[in-house]
Structures are given as C-alpha cells and as structure tokens.
Amino acid sequence: MSEHLKHLKKLSTIRSGKNIKFLTPAVYSGGWCPMRVACNIVEDIEGVSYLMVGMPECATHSRGMNSLPEGPNGELRWLYVLDANEVIFGCRNGVIEALKEMDAAGAKAILMIATCVTDLIGEDFEGIISEVQPKMNARLSYVTLGQFKNFGSGIGTWKVAEALGEFMLPREKKEKVANLLFLEPWRTKGSPLELPLIIDALERRGVTVRKIAAGATLEDYMDAPDAALNLVTTSYTQPLAAKMQDRFGTPYSPLHNAFTVEDIDKVYKEIEDILGISLEGEFDGWRKKAVELEERAKKELGGKTFVMITEVDMPVALTKYLVGFGMKPLLINVDDIHNEDIGFAKEMKAEGIDPPACRIMYIEKDLEIVRELQPDIVFGYVDKPVTDIKLAEEMGDFFGITGYERTVGILSRIFTVLETGKMGERLDIYGPAPL
Amino acid sequence: MGLHRFKPMPSGRMGIFWTLASISEAAVVEFGCMGHNIYSGGNLRRGGIYEGYGAPLYTTYIDETDIAMGDTSRLKATIAQVIKNDKPKAIFLQPSAVPEVVGTDMYAVANELQYDFPDTPLIPLGHGSFAISQQKGVEEALKALAKALPEEREKTEKPTYNIIGSCPDLFNFASDSLEIQRLMKGAFDMDIVCDFSSKCSVTDIRNMPSAHINLVIRREGIPAAKYLQKKFGTPYIYARPYGIKGTTKWLCDIGEILGTEPCKEFIDFEENLWKLQYEPGRYTLENNQWQYPDEAVLTIGGHYDVVKGILTFATTELPISKGTAWCNCPEMGDEEIPYFSEKEWIPVVQNHDKGYLMFSGEALKWAGKNTQLQIANPDIAYRMHPYDPPFVGYRGAINIVNKLLNEYVLKH
C-alpha cells in the first residue's frame, strides 16, 4: 500500500463518519457546512420558515449574497444569534421568544436549524418544542447540525429530510399516489428538476407523483403520508423513507441503489405490484442497451483499477456495482457513511474487496497521491483540466437519476473515458435510448 | 445578540479573519469546524480578493473526540502540510467558535508548535471571546500583526508611508485605498510601503518601520499605529479624508507632521476640477434645499468613521442637513452617531421617504431603496475590481455628489 494511504481505514471498518480520515490533513479552504445546506433546502419549500440558531459566523453564512429575511410567500428566514452568556448557559428562553415572534408574524411551519455551539452545549430543542408547540399555531421541527459530528452536505441533507418529515400528518392512503423523495443539497433555485424516466411513465399510467423535492410546498409534506409508495432516488432521502414506513406504513422502492439490470427489473416489478400498473414495454430500448453494456463490461472491465474522488453520488453503492464486473477500487472518497453503505462494504469484503476510504479536501494536492496510485480510471470532479489521468468527470449528471438510463449513462461514460481519455458527450436521458 | 432578520454584526473572529485573509506570503489556518473559511473565502473573492491575491485559507476540522480530549494534533499535521504546500513566511492561527467555547489556548498551542516549525513564524490570533464585534477583531488583528512582524529598518531615503486599516470588511476599501495613494503621490510624491492589510505581503508588513508616516484610516488601526510609533518612532495621523475642504485639510495635516507642504499645484488643480464638475449639479442641490428643506436631509448608517466623514462633508460643504445617523458597532457609538441595532434601524430604513438614505446594500435592497447609495456592508453585489470611484478624497467628493444628484433625479 502507498505510504500516503497508510493512515486511512478500510471501508469495511468504517461505521460512522468519525472514522473517515482526510487524505491529506490540510483542508483547503474548508468543507461545506450542513447548516448552509439546510437553509438552502428549506428556502426552496413554499410555506416553510426557518430559525437558524448559531453564532454570527453561522448567521452570516446561512444566507447567499441575495437572500432576504422573507421568502416570496411570506416564509421567514430568521436568525437567532447566541450571546456570550447563552454560549455558557444555553439559549432556551431566547429561542422560545424568537419562535413566539415568528408565530405572531405568521409563520406556518418553522424548522429550527441548530449549529455547532448549540450542539456542543447540548441545547434541548425537543424540550423547547414540547414546551411551546401547544401554545403556537406554527408547526415546529428541528435539526441539529453541529459540524463536528455532521460532516458535509450529505448528512445535512438527510437529516433535514427527516426533520421536514415531522411536518407530515397521518392521511388516508390513496392507491394511485406515489411520492418522489429527492432532495439536493446545492440546488440552484429555479433550475429545472431532472427526474428519472420512471416518473413520467407512472404519470402516464394515471399515478399522481407528488414531488417531495425542490419546489414542494408545506402542504405536499403534510399530505405525503397518503401515498401508496415512496420512490427513493437518492441515499439522502432513504432515511426519511424508512421513517415514513415506520410512522405511516408507507413502503418504499430504493431506486437509488438499483444499478444492475437485475436489480432494476426487481424494483420496477415491486412498483408495478404496489401501484397495480404495468410498465411492460416502457423501457425496452434503455433496458436493451443496459444489458448490452453490462455484457461488454463483464468482458472488458475485469481487472481495471479505479479511484473515486469528490462529487460522486453514492460512491460505495457505485463501487459495489463496478466490483461486480471485476474492477478493483484503489481508494474511495466517502464524505459520510450511510447505513446502507455498511452493508455494501460488508458484501464487498466477503468477496475480498476492501479499499481504503478517505475524504479528499484539497483536490489539487490530493490528486498527486491519486496519480501515484496509477488507476485506470478516476471518477469525480477536478476543478482544473487534467490530461494525465483518465477522468470520468461530471458524475453529478447521475444525481437523482435512476433506472436503466443511469446504468447506460455510467457504463457508456466509463467506456468512452477508457477509450479516449475524455468524458465524451453528456447523456440525454430524455432522448431516445442510444441503441 | 438574539433574534435577527438581517445578517447580524459579525463576530470578532470574522473581523480578524477578514483582516488576515488578504495578506500574501502568509497562510491562514483555522482550528475547528469548517464552513467559515470556505464561505468567507467566497465572499472575499466576490469582493476582489481573488485566488492567489492574499493568504491561502486552510482549516483543520475538529470532531467530537478532539473536543472531548482537547486534542490539537490536527493543527500540527495541518501546519506541516501547509508549510510543504506553500512555504509561507508566516502562518496565522485562529480558532473557530467551538475551540473558543471549550477554551483551547491558541497562544500556548502556537508557542509549543513553534519549536517544531522554527523557520515559520506561527502567529496566534482570534481569542476575542464571544462578546466582541467585528471591528474589535480588526483592531486586534492589526495590532497583533504590528507587534509580531515589523522589523527594524532604516527610514527610506525618499519619504514613504503606510496605510493602516484598509481591510476587506469595509465597503469600497480597494477604491478608497487607491484614491489615498493617488493623493499622496500628487501632494507629496510619496510611495506606499504597506497597504495594511487589504493589499500587502508579509514582507511589506516587515518593512513598515521604513515608512515616514502611518495614515490610519479607521479607528481600529490606532492601537497598531501607537505601537509602531512607540517601537519605531513612526508618527501617525488618524482621519479619513472626505470632501474637498476635508481632503485639503487632511493633506495639510500630513504635511505638518512631515515638515513639508503638500503640492499647491496639485491641490489647486483638484479643487478647480471639483468646482467645474460640481457646477451643473450645485444649483439642483441648492434649489432642493431651498424649496424642499425636508428633502435635503442625509440619513446614514455604517462604520462610524465612514458615517462621520460623509456626514461632515455633506453638512459642511453641501446644502444638506443631518438626518438620522448611526453606526454599526456598539463600542463606537456616541451621542452624535449612536449605535443602532437592527430593531432600531429597521423602522428608520423602512419609513424613510424623503431625502437621501445611505446604508448597507442588504438593507437598501430589502427596503426597495436606491442601492447606488450603499456605503456599508453586508453587500449584495460582486466587487471584483478596485476601479469603482472612491468615497474618500477629491474624487470621492464628486462621486458622492453624483450619487446624491442621481437619487434626486430618481425621486423627481
């Protein structure tokens, strides 16, 4: 093993984000704060207000350059800043007064977003909600995002998804309603939502697909438990789906983890059964291409080595998929470990595959170590053009996309990069299957 | 600090960070949670401190175990990596909020680590506690650097000067600094040694004692200037030059300290140019005051020294009277220009309908007012270049008048 990787833990031994080491120690110039992600997500939900609770740094950076204290539909985006006394003795009373003020100002639902210092001093937000909820019209929820135990944007996203789930109310189930569960940490407001093809297919079969995604409303969240099925398209919303299954008995389809044609077939069959529809013939073109590419992968990808750097969605699940073709992971960048990942890592270890896992925090310098590993292909994002490594970049193209079309996209990109050293054209999943 | 609708007064740590970030040949290492560096770095880049301009910004991260055990080993590993990456001439160490809460003693840690890295000065900053403002943080950073870096130097043969207090946290800092440098060149043919700290290097700070005078352009720079006066005998002047008469007086005061007179031709040229440029607008402003005296009023909020300077220019050199004026730092407020919290300035801004309103971009935008009259941060726009017109100096005077006239035109 390379000298530079000796301090890293093997993927199978990682049980929480705490055990994932930086590839090199100096972080340049810092990682994303989960609090900022939380504010960004909530700002895209009509009718949901937030109260950010933290230090002046948090308050300043919770907002983009053009963010204002009120949203387009009267949502409040207010900030509670701890003073020197509250840092020691807690901010309970101040936060309660702030919530009352927001309630009086007309907030319909308030998500409290707590940051590092409140997490450190152990402020009891659940206790605050218990005390004031009965006296308020606004519905309350909270998420604690101290960065020292919530690394990066992914964890911020799934915890926020769970916290927003607290706004959901028991509803009578409707047979032909499904929820799409998809949240993006860094969505540019107003940009089009890219959805997998299954959504359109379901809608054409009379299924109402409620998008619990950017642009959703408070009412969408409140009504979500009426769905017969949740469609999970990212690991960030899988914990919310699991919680909804417990609370409301809503089953979920883990589309996000289905990379192989076999797994996709299986998950589509479940969807057909639960919603009482048939998807026969719907994806024939894409499925045929995916089968073809998987056959080719079995022949050509065996023994190829790879590294995953930053901005690859679900790196552990994707690694497991590629290992299935005999590819060998040399190093995996993992921002955070999900429960599902632990299972995937275990399965890979049983097959003798257990790569070191790390967090890459200074790509320019860390790339020097990646180069030394001499991988056949590298997946992820580099901020400057590189010509000396075969880089499958823009893996974010597949974020939120599932099904045969994602499999076709990923495998096509791998073959193109291996053959030409370049990424090639980006896949248009909304066009015809590239037969 | 409590509930805020707008961005609150930044912390002392933020003031320190913004003061350090623009210094080249150095590196900033923040010990603690991440986020501050990456977002502040982004803001600085939007403000013209582009990648490679100042210090590279690093952070260590900190996790639960580090906090529980008081472990600072990440700092040592990070410093070693930073030295390998950048070979900086100094490393500024700063704790983030969490190490502040648990009481990490950055001074002790820096002293200890200095033995491991004897060739790179490690300069700890940023205690600041939770009770101090951004402005106090700027003051602490300027003073700490003035104590740590300047070295004994012969005064330059041809007289030179330093600017103390031009820092990226001040709105329009880069253009104002360039105007001051233009004035010093035109009036005294003097060059700058160190633009402390918005555009300088570690070497420039080390060379500060070679200058003949320190120009302190905000009160946060006074302790640093006093220290440099005591240690190296460099005199200083504290003032921001606003207006025509104000700028000429400022130049004459500098001349008095230097024992020389500012160039008369330069001052005459600038004053005559002002008269010619101002003439087409003079009647409009005077007529406005005569016809609608309640509209010839300046309401203004921001940094104390900026507010004071612009207000003095407006009320003594222009036909404008003083409206509500406030500053954004509790430690600076006085009877003339009190400190206003958000709760106090919101109604002033919201209800403002007559006269001129100068304040932060954030508040002006929110209230639907003329954002061209922004004189304070939080900002709402990119400021990638330093070539906007200044507010200080002769050029600043005509710029301010131009903005006020345009506000008049908008309203009428």
- The pLDDT tens digits for B98-112 are 888 888 889 999 999
B3 domain residue, yes or no: no
Q: What is the pLDDT of residue B102?
A: 86
User: At B27, is the secondary structure helix, strand, or coil?
Assistant: strand
Class for the domain spanning A3-29+290-420: alpha beta
A188 pLDDT band (50/70/90 cuts)? confident
Contact B35 A98 (CB under 8 A): no
Predicted pLDDT of residue A69: 94
pLDDT bracket for residue A331 (50, 70, 90)? very high
Q: Taking CA atoms, what residue in A is nearest to B13?
A: A57
State residue B127's pLDDT score: 60
Strands A328-333 and A305-308: parallel
Identify the CA nearest to B175 among candidates B276, B47, B278, B50: B47
pLDDT of residue B259: 97
B259, B285, B315 — which closes off a domain?
B259
Tell me, yes or no, whether B116 and B164 share the same domain. Answer: no
Identity of the residue numbered A66: N
B38 closest CB neighbour out of A26, A32, A66: A32
Q: What's the mean pLDDT in B333-339?
A: 97
Measure the CA–CA gap between A96 and A291, rounded to whole angstroms: 57
Helices (H), A352-435: 363-373, 403-420
Whole-number average pLDDT of chain B: 95
Nearest CA in chain B to A79: B4
Q: Which of A35, A63, A65 sits opposite B46 (nearest CB)?
A: A65
Q: How far is A417 from chain B (nearest CA, A)?
A: 30
Domain co-membership, B323 together with B197: no
* A59-73, A326-340, B146-160, B264-278: the lowest-pLDDT one: A59-73
Domain-located, residue B362:
yes
pLDDT tens digits, residue range A17-38? 888 999 999 898 888 899 999 9
Cα–Cα distance, B238 to B216 (Å, whole number): 5
The whole-angstrom distance between residue A369's C-alpha and the CA centroid of its chain comes to: 27
Using a CB-CB cut-off of 8 Å, the residues of chain A touching B4 are 59, 78-81
Check A80 against B38: CB less than 8 A apart: no
Does B247 share its domain with B271? no
Q: Does residue B250 lie in a domain region?
A: yes
Q: What is the reported pLDDT for A30?
A: 83
Question: Min CA distance, B106 vs chain A (Å)?
Answer: 18
B218 and B82 in one domain?
no
Kindly tell me if the per-residue pLDDT of A313 is higher than 80.
yes
| Cross-chain Cβ contact B38/A97 below 8 Å | no
Top residue of A7, A18, A57, A80 to mutate, by most chain B CBs within 10 Å, is: A57
Instruction: Please check the confidence at residue B129 and state whether its pLDDT lies above 70.
Output: no
Q: Is residue B147 part of a domain?
A: no
Beta carbon pairs, A and B, within 8 Å:
169
Beta carbons of A102 and A78 less than 8 angstroms apart? yes
User: In one letter, which amino acid is A283?
Assistant: F
Residue A427 banded pLDDT, cuts 50, 70, 90? confident
- B1, A35: Cβ pair inside 8 Å? no
Q: Please tell me the number of Cα atoms within 13 Å of B256 on its side-chain side.
A: 8
Q: Is the pLDDT of residue B128 over 60?
A: no
Taking the C-alpha atoms of residue A433 and residue A285, their distance in angstroms, rounded to an integer, is 5
Q: Are residues B246 and B280 in the same domain?
A: no
pLDDT category, A425, cuts 50, 70, 90?
A: confident
To the nearest whole Å, the CA of A101 is away from the closest chain B CA by: 9
* Residues of A with Cβ-Cβ distance to B74 under 8 angstroms: 25
Query: Tens of pLDDT along A132-150?
Result: 999 999 999 999 999 998 8
8 A C-beta contact, residue A313 and residue A153: no
B7, B56, B129 member nearest A60 (Cβ) = B7
Q: Chain A contacts of B130, Cβ < 8 Å?
A: 55, 82-84, 87
Whole-angstrom distance, CA of residue B280 vs CA of residue B292 = 19
Task: Give the β-pairing of A27-28 and B57-59.
Answer: antiparallel
Query: Considering chain A, what is the average pLDDT of its residues?
Result: 94
Q: Which of A99-113, B36-50, B204-218 has the lowest mean pLDDT?
A: B36-50
- One domain for residues B177 and B294: no
Q: Using a CB-CB distance cutoff of 8 angstroms, which residues of chain B are in contact with residue A22?
A: 61
Which chain B residue is nearest to residue A55, measuring alpha carbons?
A: B97
CA distance B194 to B200: 6
Same domain, B251 and B321: no
Q: What does the pLDDT average to over A228-257?
A: 97
- Is A65–B379 a contact, with Cβ atoms under 8 angstroms apart? yes
Q: Are residues B26 and B119 in the same domain?
A: yes
CATH of region A174-275: 3.40.50.1980
Search chain A and give the residue with CA nearest B128.
A84
CA distance B71 to chain A (A): 13
Residue B88 lies in a domain: yes
- Residue finishing a domain among B113, B132, B151: B132
State yes or no: pLDDT of A435 exceeds 80. Answer: no
Question: In CATH terms, are A3-29+290-420 and A34-146 the same topology?
Answer: yes
CB contact under 8 A, A69 and B82: no
Query: B248 and B203 in one domain?
Result: yes
Q: pLDDT, tens digit, for every residue of B344-403?
A: 999 999 999 999 999 999 999 999 999 999 999 999 999 999 999 999 999 999 999 999
**Closest CA relative to residue A109, chosen from A133, A79, A93, A81:** A133
CA A297 to chain B, closest CA, distance in angstroms equals 40
Which residue from A30, A81, A84 is facing B59, i.e. has the nearest CB?
Answer: A30
Task: Express each pLDDT in A366-414 by its tens digit.
Answer: 999 999 999 999 999 998 888 899 999 888 889 999 999 999 999 999 9
Contacts of B35 in chain A (CB under 8 A): 30-33, 35-36, 57-58, 61, 147
For tokens 């079309």, name the residue: A405
Token reading at A279: 């998807």
Which residues make beta-bridge pairs with A79? Answer: A52, B4
- The domain locations on chain A are 3-29+290-420, 34-146, 174-275
pLDDT at A94: 97
- B360/A65 Cα distance (integer angstroms): 13
Q: Give me the percent of chain B exceeding a pLDDT of 90.
A: 89
- Give SS3 for B48: coil
**B259, B289, B306: which is the final residue of a domain?**
B259
| CA–CA min distance A246, chain B (Å) | 30
Q: B8 to chain A nearest CA, in Å?
A: 6
Task: Give the pLDDT confidence of B130-172 residue by residue, as tens digits.
Answer: 778 999 999 999 999 999 999 999 999 999 999 999 999 999 9
Task: Tell whether B282 and B378 lie within a shared domain.
Answer: yes
Specify the pTM. Answer: 0.95
B128 within a domain of the structure (yes/no)? yes
pLDDT score recorded for residue A32? 85
Q: Which run of H or of E encompasses A287?
A: helix A284-300
Indicate the number of domains in chain B.
3
Q: Based on the domain organization, do B249 and B282 belong to the same domain?
A: no
Q: Which of B77, B97, B362 sits opposite A57 (nearest CB)?
A: B97
Instruction: Determine whether the interchain pair A36/B35 forms a contact, defined as Cβ–Cβ distance below 8 Å.
Output: yes
**B55 is in which domain, residue-wise?**
12-132
Q: What is the pLDDT of residue A385?
A: 87
- The CATH code belonging to domain A34-146 is 3.40.50.1980
> Is residue B279 domain-shared with residue B255, that is, in the same domain?
no
CB contact under 8 A, B33 and A147: yes
d(C-alpha B408, C-alpha A23), whole Å: 58
- CA dist., res. A14 & res. A34, Å (int): 21
The contacts found for B375-379 with CB under 8 angstroms, 24 or more apart, are B375/B171, B375/B172, B375/B300, B375/B302, B375/B306, B375/B307, B375/B310, B376/B171, B376/B301, B376/B302, B376/B303, B376/B306, B376/B328, B377/B169, B377/B170, B377/B171, B378/A60, B378/B6, B378/B7, B379/A65, B379/B46, B379/B47, B379/B171
- Confidence band for A278, pLDDT divided at 50, 70 and 90: very high
- Looking up residue B356, the CATH number of its domain turns out to be 3.40.50.1980
Residue B247: which pLDDT band, with cuts at 50, 70 and 90?
A: very high
Q: pLDDT digit string (tens) for B288-330? A: 899 999 999 999 999 999 999 999 999 999 999 999 999 999 9
Residue A190 pLDDT exceeds 80? no
Q: What ipTM was assigned to the predicted interfaces of this complex?
A: 0.94
Closest partner residue to A18 (CB to CB) among B13, B30, B63 is: B63
First to last CA, chain B: 40
